[in-house]
Amino acid sequence: MPEMRQSSIHFCCGIAFYLLSLLSKKMPYWDCPALAFIVEVLECLDLRECSDSVLEIMSKNLWSADGERRHLALRGLVVLGKNPLMAEKMWSLTESLVELLEENDSDVIRMTILLLRYLFLDNGTPIPSSLALQLAEALLPLFDHDDSQVQLSSMMVFQEMLELLSEDGKHALKSPVHHSLLPLYFHCHDENQIVAECSRETLLCAAKFLKRRDIKKLVKEEKLWKFSKCLVRMTENPQPQPGEGL
């Protein structure tokens, strides 16, 4: 059985390499099935031999008018993003990926958030403050998304981003983090208990980022009914007062 499996993988990889060469040309009737086959066997391919061509084809289809191609391209990029060497090559796509967070397709948003997590957070690469700001502003509206999985993934990536930012990048994110407090507060009372818990954790993370010990205390002591007063004080005095800061 291992020999048969190895032989099958070798055969599939051979087909994939052939299809990659064909996809570099115009094949309107075969593009989608060829792309689907490559995505299915992508984890088995030796990317040292085809990384550039695979990335080029996935990138080309990322903005295709054909929704199925876009889904396939994102699936392929998610697989590639798990590879640290490929993640480094994919940095040129980050701004385009952030723009995809504005799509109406929940599947596209979920895959895009997962891919951005691989690129930004899992490989330890410092995030430029301009890109962090763009990502934070794109994630905020997703806290109120109809899909709970989108809500959860956007909050978790928001948390991780705040925790990993360098000191130089923190100043640029103060405004979006401040704007995150109210939607996170509302979702602390979400009917979905998983969303509610994730909102509380993200609110704690935002309070720590803003150095607001008063907010952190309210959340930990579950006294969120006092939150509105605290938020009003923050609006009037953005800087923490003595005894309020962390």
Q: Per residue in 120-173, pLDDT tens? A: 776 666 677 788 888 999 999 999 999 999 999 999 999 988 887 777 778 889
Going residue by residue through the chain, which has 246 residues, state the pLDDT in tens, using 9 for 90 and above.
333 334 466 667 777 766 777 676 665 556 788 888 888 888 887 777 778 888 888 888 888 888 888 899 999 999 888 887 787 788 888 888 888 999 889 999 999 999 988 887 766 666 777 888 889 999 999 999 999 999 999 999 999 888 877 777 788 899 999 999 889 988 988 999 999 999 999 999 998 998 888 777 777 766 666 666 666 665 545 555 544 444
Q: What percent of the chain has pLDDT over 90?
A: 25
Token pair listed for 96: 């385009």
Cα 232–Cα 238–Cα 240 angle in degrees, nearest 5: 100
> 């952190």: which residue's tokens?
216
Residue 201 has a pLDDT of 94
User: Distances in Å between the alpha carbon of 67 and those of 30, 53, 90, 112?
Assistant: 16, 21, 21, 14
Give the count of beta carbons closer than 10 Å to the beta carbon of residue 73.
22
pLDDT tens digit string along 178-191?
999 889 988 988 99
d(CA 154, CA 212): 22
Which tokens hold the place of 38? 């490559």
Helix segments in the chain, DSSP class H:
2-23, 31-41, 47-62, 67-81, 84-89, 94-100, 106-117, 129-139, 148-164, 167-170, 174-187, 193-209, 213-220, 227-236
